[in-house]
Amino acid sequence: MSSDVDYHIQPILPEQRPQLAQFYKRNQYKGKVKATDRSWIMTDINGQIVGAARLCQQAGFTLLRGVWIDKTLRGQGRGSQLLRYLNATGVLTNSYCFPYLHLESFYRRQGFVQVSLVPASLQPVLARYNRCDEQVLLMSLVS
């Protein structure tokens, strides 16, 4: 567990999944809370979820599906804090993400770089984003 200015980062417990689903809804995240995901949460001193990272294990790598910070706390470095912790503890080893174009510099500051060779298992995901006209990049963490 990590703490920084009264925020704690930890893997989600099964009984916290409903609270995470409410956090996602409150912050307009379309993703679902799945038992198969490796989700990590950032909580405040009252135990309220104020940030989350959703990871999915793929064949040979981890896919960072999203990082969400409570809309009232964005721009204060909490997303960076969450990713730094996950990187320092090895959670993000050999990981990829599909950030929106406007978030490229944020992910670059966290050590991610754009990749041109798309792993075969991620090609359908990238194609789906492209069909939906989502403006995303494929990035990988350089540790």
| pLDDT (tens digit per residue) in 80-95 | 999 999 999 999 999 9
Full-model pTM: 0.88
Q: What domain count does the chain have?
A: 1
> What is the dihedral sign for C-alpha 39, 42, 45, 48?
negative
Question: pLDDT tens, 18-62?
Answer: 999 999 999 988 878 888 889 999 999 999 999 999 999 988 899
Range of the domain at 10: 2-141
> What is the dihedral sign for C-alpha 37, 40, 41, 45?
positive
Contact of 40 with 87, CB cutoff 8 Å = no
* Whole-angstrom distance, CA of residue 55 vs CA of residue 66: 7
Task: Residue 8: give its domain's CATH number.
Answer: 3.40.630.30
